Structure 1
Amino acid sequence: MRRRWLAIIGVAAVGGAALSVTALRSETDQRLIGAAAFSDWRADAPGAWRRIGPQDLPRPLASEPKAERSQVVPRPEGAALKTLVGFEAEVFASGLNGPRVLKFAPNGDLFVTESNAGRVRVFRMKDEDIKPAQSEIFAAELERPYGVAFYPPGPNPQYVYVGTVSKVVRFPYKQGDLKAAGPAEIVAGPLPAESGHWTRDIAFSPDGKTLFVAVGSKSNVADGHVRPSVAEVAELEAKNGVGASSGPELDRAAVLAFDPDGANKRIYATGIRNCSGLRLRPKSEDLWCVVNERDMLGDDLPPDYATRVKPGAFYGWPWYYIGGNPDPRHLGARPDLADKVTIPDILLQPHSAPLGLAFYDGAQFPADYKGDAFVTLHGSWNRAKRTGYKVVRLKFKDGEPTGEYQDFLTGFVVDDTRVWGRPVDATVAPDGSLLVSEDGNGVIFRVRYVGR
């Protein structure tokens, strides 16, 4: 194994205060394949590759499920972010209240949803560098805002759309607006909002004709769900697609689609327990999402995943996972669905909790990063040994995922019980650097390539 280390100090002025971050850079050629990929945070190292296939899954309950929630603490003195040789990480902004989704407007302003505070913030950049020169509240008093999208897609949007728990709203917008020019208009809703997964990421199709909305499940695995009759299943699926949820899970664990004005609601894909990050791959019509899979089947089951979301596809929840593997809690309930499950493209270490997805289309990183993607892993709670709490790179070749992913930004974990950061989202800045939000201490980091 090859490994190199180099310490870099970066200072960013944020809100009038200087805050320094040590970015410890490393590189390793370690590859963890199959069973070896089911490790914990101690095996994380920038440069390490993992690959998990459907054939590598353990049996259900091979280990006892445990609730091991992390304690978020302030960044300890000397705690360092770790990234690859040639890269450095620095603080872009701090003091935010639950920063979640990051989205650049066409003019280069950065929109950030602060879900805990119920608001959308805008950062205006300095022309000579990607640093915040101005910060304004674009909209406030929102219901846990999450996803942001500009409509119509392209250089001159007229609206800013925001996904909230129970609805999608939009604000009138013209280039350079730092505050909403008018009140929120409800576009799509009501969305299912009674408890359960609350994140509502949104995206537009490249032609602007379709608004996609991700809605996670209400429960872990359709807990207490009463199976509909054969006739009810036929009626439900004729309307909403194969494997469509019903009862309290109706219109949940799915990606919904609407016309831009909120009309013509339909189910785009089903059986996706919680698609937290929803993105279009650049220069394509491929809709991708990163998914939090179910809990309480053991440390290493089932994998979370990143995948293309295919129209009309069924991804298994709650009856099956990663193909035709039956969930023992619904054993024998829907044998008709066993051969209809779409297998995801990239399997991630179970319970890592992927939330954000960014395709790298910049030119600041080395050329072999072009077309790859970055996924932010918020971190485990249903696992005896902590995993996640990092940013990983998904490898693509000729536009197709290879199934491998690489540790890119680590160092957020203090020990087996404490962490000082929980990555949420990533986005590519106009200069090609990568911005990463984390909601544990309310910080946005900037990662850039400075050369070897």
Structure 2
Amino acid sequence: MRKHVLAVIGLLIALGVAIFLYLSWPDAARRDMAAVTGARPDITPPREQVLPTVKTADPIGWKAGETPTAAAGLKTAAFATGLDHPRWLYRLPNGDVLVAETNSPLRSGGGVKGWVMRHLLGKVGAGVPSANRITLLRDANGDGVAEVKTPFLTGLNSPSGMALLGGQLYVANTDALVRVPYRNGETKITARPETVVRYPGGGNHWSRNVIVAEDGKTLYLSVGSATNIADDGLDAEHDRAAILQVYPDSKKYRVFAAGIRNANGMALVPGTNRLWTVVNERDMLGSDLVPDYLTAVELGDHFGWPWYYWGGYIDTRVEPKNPQLQQYAKRPDYALGPHVAALGLTFAADAKLGDRFARGAFISEHGSWNRKPLSGYKVVFVPFDASGWPVQGAKPVDVLTGFLNKDDEAHGRPVGVITDKSGALLVADDVGNTIWRVSAGG
């Protein structure tokens, strides 16, 4: 008799848990996005998700004549089309534009996490083999359209960031920084890439970025975490969730800053040459947490990942604990909102888009998968003051929208963002397979 009673109690408990999960899933936002952006976002209690909220936009592409919507006073047109998952952009000294046509290395894995990743990759077009190619785009006649589109460097391994230093073009593959000689005006490089340094590749955050440091001799290189919160142990995160400083002459690197779950866009703010980055924060704490962010980064900074977020809030899911770190976890400078997936970053040093966009940061938000309703899927602008910091009380300003339609379908998703030689903004769209050009005069 007692066994039957225990069995019934067990079934009731299981039923109660199932009802609770059903009623609380998917987790919906309880704060307006504006409340979770800026220098002082509203950090609410976490709502840990046993079942992740999985909501992303089905990709539908762009029909002929369709474009994203630019802010008032600006206009949008296609700079280049027919690309293969374009992710990152780099402007050469002569004005030519390099685009990394790239994708995640093939992934495997079982369980809920593996299913979620495969589901998401299929939805965003990232579950197909990488082109592993850098393509050169040239607008020789200055009409805002690239009439030259030609393979520039091939045989790479999920490449992303690019940077010129000392007559060498550096390319950040997923697992190694490589370089090739470059002469201004070249349209094709056939030299075999030389490996500079190796670092951990692949993982949930596979793309790497690289920029020249303010000293003009070293490079900053971003390496994202392999998992959400060190789910596979801290050993799997060695030299990850960090910005590395690379010494190309000696082919060595050091960890410049750590506890940064996934930094992609990096740039030096004009006037001060201070390093800034945009960072994707953790998932599965609810639709209001944790805000992705824009922040200055200095040598020795630790931003708390995986143990802490937003300057000392504890993530109780992480084991083993690290209580001594809490007081040292640096608070980011500016919140961009939860789950927006901030990737691209460029400052408006030579942008010519009017006074509203004359000083500040352009940021591409690739779009959420772990939030209801969706967030991101646009390019925003954060205004800066003359001293090189976000304007006090300022909120992000929409620059390029329309990637989502009213049915939450994605025409495209923005990634890399740079300015072209004329001062227009170029935005890589890896779902729409297009580079969009935003210029003044709309």
Q: Into which bin does the TM-score normalised by the smaller protein fall? A: 0.7 to 0.9
1:211 equivalent among 192, 215, 219: 219
- Structure 1 position 288, deviation (Å): 1.3
- Structure 1 position 373, deviation (Å): 1.1
- Structure 1 position 414, deviation (Å): 1.9
Cα RMSD after superposing both structures: 2.1
| 8 Å CA contact retained: 2:39, 2:333 | no
Counterpart residue type for residue 36 of structure 1: D
Q: Does 1:145 align with 2:164?
A: no
Q: Does 1:97 align with 2:105?
A: no
Q: Does 1:120 align with 2:106?
A: no
1:327 equivalent among 299, 308, 315: 315
- Give the secondary structure class of the aligned counterpart of 1:61: coil
| 8 Å CA contact retained: 1:188, 1:262 | no
Aligned counterpart, 2:306: 318
Aligned counterpart, 2:170: 161
Query: Per the alignment, do residues 123 and 320 of structure 1 end up closer, same or farther by CA in structure 2, a change over 3 Å counting?
Result: same
Q: How many residues align?
A: 382
| 8 Å CA contact retained: 1:361, 1:371 | yes
Give me the whole-angstrom Cα distance separating, in 1, the residues matched to 2:390 and 2:250: 32
| 8 Å CA contact retained: 1:37, 1:52 | no
Query: Per the alignment, do residues 419 and 368 of structure 1 end up closer, same or farther by CA in structure 2, a change over 3 Å counting?
Result: closer
Aligned counterpart, 1:435: 426
- Give the secondary structure class of the aligned counterpart of 2:236: helix
Counterpart residue type for residue 150 of structure 1: L
- Give the secondary structure class of the aligned counterpart of 1:339: helix
Counterpart residue type for residue 450 of structure 1: G
| 8 Å CA contact retained: 1:208, 1:260 | no
What does the per-residue CA deviation read over 1:289-315, in whole Å, with 9 as the maximum and x for residues that have no partner?
111111010001000011111110000
| 8 Å CA contact retained: 2:351, 2:425 | no
| 8 Å CA contact retained: 2:203, 2:226 | yes
Query: Per the alignment, do residues 408 and 363 of structure 1 end up closer, same or farther by CA in structure 2, a change over 3 Å counting?
Result: closer
Give me the whole-angstrom Cα distance separating, in 2, the residues matched to 1:80 and 1:93: 12
Bigger proportion of residues as helix: 2
- Structure 1 position 262, deviation (Å): 5.3
- Structure 1 position 52, deviation (Å): 3.7
What does the per-residue CA deviation read over 1:265-309, in whole Å, with 9 as the maximum and x for residues that have no partner?
110000000001122223432111111111010001000011111
- Structure 1 position 69, deviation (Å): 2.7
Query: Per the alignment, do residues 445 and 262 of structure 1 end up closer, same or farther by CA in structure 2, a change over 3 Å counting?
Result: farther
Aligned counterpart, 1:22: none
Q: Does 1:87 align with 2:48?
A: no
1:251 equivalent among 239, 243, 256: 239
- Structure 1 position 385, deviation (Å): 1.4
- Structure 1 position 161, deviation (Å): 0.6
Aligned counterpart, 1:337: 325
Q: Does 1:195 align with 2:203?
A: yes
Query: Per the alignment, do residues 343 and 136 of structure 1 end up closer, same or farther by CA in structure 2, a change over 3 Å counting?
Result: same
Give me the whole-angstrom Cα distance separating, in 1, the residues matched to 2:256 and 2:312: 21
1:374 equivalent among 357, 362, 386: 362
- Structure 1 position 124, deviation (Å): 1.8
- Give the secondary structure class of the aligned counterpart of 2:61: coil
Structure 1 segments unaligned to the other structure (5+ residues): 1-33, 40-49, 153-157, 226-245
Give me the whole-angstrom Cα distance separating, in 1, the residues matched to 2:225 and 2:250: 21
Q: Does 1:58 align with 2:44?
A: yes
| 8 Å CA contact retained: 1:101, 1:147 | yes
1:221 equivalent among 218, 223, 229: 229
Aligned counterpart, 2:62: 75
Query: Per the alignment, do residues 76 and 194 of structure 1 end up closer, same or farther by CA in structure 2, a change over 3 Å counting?
Result: closer
The range that moved more, 358-367 or 372-381, is 358-367
| 8 Å CA contact retained: 1:100, 1:437 | yes
Give me the whole-angstrom Cα distance separating, in 2, the residues matched to 1:339 and 1:392: 32
| 8 Å CA contact retained: 2:75, 2:439 | yes
Give me the whole-angstrom Cα distance separating, in 2, the residues matched to 1:259 and 1:445: 34
Counterpart residue type for residue 47 of structure 2: L
The range that moved more, 318-327 or 280-289, is 280-289
| 8 Å CA contact retained: 2:67, 2:77 | no
| 8 Å CA contact retained: 1:346, 1:404 | no
Give me the whole-angstrom Cα distance separating, in 2, the residues matched to 1:417 and 1:331: 36
Query: Per the alignment, do residues 349 and 267 of structure 1 end up closer, same or farther by CA in structure 2, a change over 3 Å counting?
Result: same
- Structure 1 position 187, deviation (Å): 0.9
Matches within 5 A, 1:288-307: 288-307=276-295
| 8 Å CA contact retained: 2:352, 2:358 | no
Aligned counterpart, 1:36: 32
| 8 Å CA contact retained: 2:211, 2:267 | yes
Counterpart residue type for residue 434 of structure 2: V
Give me the whole-angstrom Cα distance separating, in 2, the residues matched to 1:106 and 1:220: 38
Give me the whole-angstrom Cα distance separating, in 1, the residues matched to 2:135 and 2:64: 29
Q: Does 1:132 align with 2:146?
A: yes
Counterpart residue type for residue 193 of structure 1: G
Give me the whole-angstrom Cα distance separating, in 2, the residues matched to 1:139 and 1:76: 30
Counterpart residue type for residue 210 of structure 1: T
After TM superposition, the score normalised by the length of structure 1 is: 0.80
| 8 Å CA contact retained: 1:166, 1:192 | yes
Aligned counterpart, 1:180: 189
- Structure 1 position 331, deviation (Å): 7.4
Query: Per the alignment, do residues 385 and 363 of structure 1 end up closer, same or farther by CA in structure 2, a change over 3 Å counting?
Result: closer
- Give the secondary structure class of the aligned counterpart of 2:317: helix
Over alpha carbons, which structure has the higher Rg? 2
Counterpart residue type for residue 33 of structure 2: A
- Structure 1 position 93, deviation (Å): 0.7
Aligned counterpart, 2:112: none
Q: Does 1:359 align with 2:347?
A: yes
Give me the whole-angstrom Cα distance separating, in 1, the residues matched to 2:148 and 2:66: 29
- Structure 1 position 334, deviation (Å): 1.1
Residue identity over aligned pairs, in percent, reads 38
Give me the whole-angstrom Cα distance separating, in 1, the residues matched to 2:438 and 2:285: 35
Aligned counterpart, 1:27: none
- Give the secondary structure class of the aligned counterpart of 1:336: helix
Give me the whole-angstrom Cα distance separating, in 2, the residues matched to 1:124 and 1:372: 27
What does the per-residue CA deviation read over 1:413-434, in whole Å, with 9 as the maximum and x for residues that have no partner?
1244421110001111111110
Aligned counterpart, 1:385: 373
What does the per-residue CA deviation read over 1:31-79, in whole Å, with 9 as the maximum and x for residues that have no partner?
xxx943259xxxxxxxxxx844445111100787401132111225785
- Structure 1 position 182, deviation (Å): 1.6
Q: Does 1:270 align with 2:258?
A: yes
| 8 Å CA contact retained: 2:34, 2:395 | no
